Amino acid sequence: MAGSGKTTFMQRLNSHLHAEKTPPYVINLDPATLKVPFGCHIDIRDSIKYKKVMENYDLGPNGAIVTSLNLFSTKIDQVMKIVEKRSTTFENCIIDTPGQIECFVWSASGSIITESFASQYPTVIAYIVDTPRNQSPSTFMSNMLYACSILYKTKLPMILVFNKNDVVKADFAIDWMKDFEAFQDAILKDKELQGETGMGSGYMGSLINSMSLMLEEFYSQLDCVQVSSATGAGFDDFMKAVKSKGEEYNQYYKKEREAALKKKEEEEEQMKKQSINKLMKDLNLKSKVKKDNGAESDSSADVISDLEEGENDGIVYPDEEEDDIAQPSREYTFSEDREMGEVNDNNPDLQAMYQEAMEKTSKDISSETAENIAKYIRG
């Protein structure tokens, strides 16, 4: 949430970890910020000039943030290489995101960046809540729904960080999360204060009730900590929560991610096979059937290429090849074409299918119908 204290939190966390003699690797992903009050190892502003993006692409402030992140995400592999090099030196890497968190969470680049980290390292989301601004049940619920959507979008372990603890303690919020009735009481009080326009009235009352039940499940996934980025209170608890969520990541999230990745690869493989089968069908390569007299015939429909058998029929027969011209080996525009679904040498099934296709097309090229068509054309 904008103004909840993310940057101040980052600053405090950075100095806390320095004091603990475990300095973190620090990344700033907010292209629009004027000042970063902590030392950064990687700063998006070094490579992307936010104002220039606004001018060049004729964008408003949020559009320019998304575009800057998009531009940055095209270089994410380089960023990951740098982070990887440093991963032996630094125990933790902390990343500040743009204040308009939706520019990050719901943008393609946000997903690319998050995925890049999450696929390589245990990654935890710290959702910073502005505690004083969440004392009304309606604001609190909206904020929790927001956090919930981020959890389901990123599918990463999340810690709810109730910030500005020096101003208001977050005990009330933690009570609401643990005790459904306490939250209901707060809604009723809100109704008393605000009358019929309050949250507990009319259709809002039943909507809030069902949402609270749904959020109960969400709360069970979270760790909550209270901190003050101004005074530094609660940062030990935060680091404990990070550790426990890191373990959770390795235990559950990593497996789920790997399983999802495997499923995706299998689906891609299946698609490849399907397109090959389709290609085979297009080539009319159905299995031969035996005629009553025992002779083999092609059961597939006749094709016009049968007509010009041997001449310009589109198939190069081995014996037609000019012996004195060495056949060049197949060149691929990009090496990755091989993996992306052209001929896959590593797949013996596909190789065999291609081989079979070539043999069949090169032999059975004459047919009765084609002969008739040829006679018709000849006059």
HEC profile for 9-23?
A: HHHHHHHHHHHCCCC
User: Interface residues with ligand GTP (CB under 6 A)?
Assistant: 2-8, 99, 163-164, 166-167, 228-230
Cβ closer to ligand GTP: 45 or 164? Answer: 164
**Angle, CA 247 vertex, CA 244 and CA 253 arms, to 5°:** 120
Nearer to ligand GTP, 7 or 361 (CB): 7
Least distance from ligand GTP to the Cβ atom of residue 4, Å = 5
**Which residue is associated with the tokens 């081989």?**
355
Sign of CA dihedral 235, 236, 241, 247: positive
Residue carrying structure tokens 């698609």: 271
Q: Which helix (H) or strand (E) holds 57?
A: helix 50-57
Q: Which residues contact 347 (CB under 8 A, 6 or more apart)?
A: none
Minimal distance, residue 218 CB to ligand GTP, in Å = 22
- Closer to ligand GTP by Cβ: residue 2 or 340: 2
Give dist(CA 123, CA 248) in Å, integer. Answer: 10
Q: How far is the CB of 6 from ligand GTP (least distance, A)?
A: 4
Q: Report the nearest approach of ligand GTP to the CB of residue 103 (Å).
A: 11
Cβ atoms 52, 58 nearer than 8 A: no
For residue 278, the one-letter residue type is: K
The backbone region for 163, taken as left when phi is positive above 0, alpha when psi lies in -120 to 50, beta otherwise, is beta
Q: Which is nearer to ligand GTP, 30 or 306 (CB)?
A: 30
- Return the number of the residue (34 or 326) whose C-beta is nearest ligand GTP: 34
- Closer CB to ligand GTP, 163 or 284, in the complex: 163
| Shortest Å, Cβ 130 to ligand GTP | 8
5 close to 128: Cβ distance less than 8 angstroms: yes
Residues linked to residue 160 through DSSP beta bridges, in sequence order = 127, 224
Residue closer to ligand GTP (CB basis): 228 or 361: 228
Q: How far apart are CA 44 and CA 176, in angstroms?
A: 38
Report the nearest approach of ligand GTP to the CB of residue 12 (Å): 8
Supply the minimum distance, in Å, between the C-beta of residue 350 and ligand GTP: 51
Strands 289-290, 125-130: pairing kind:
unpaired
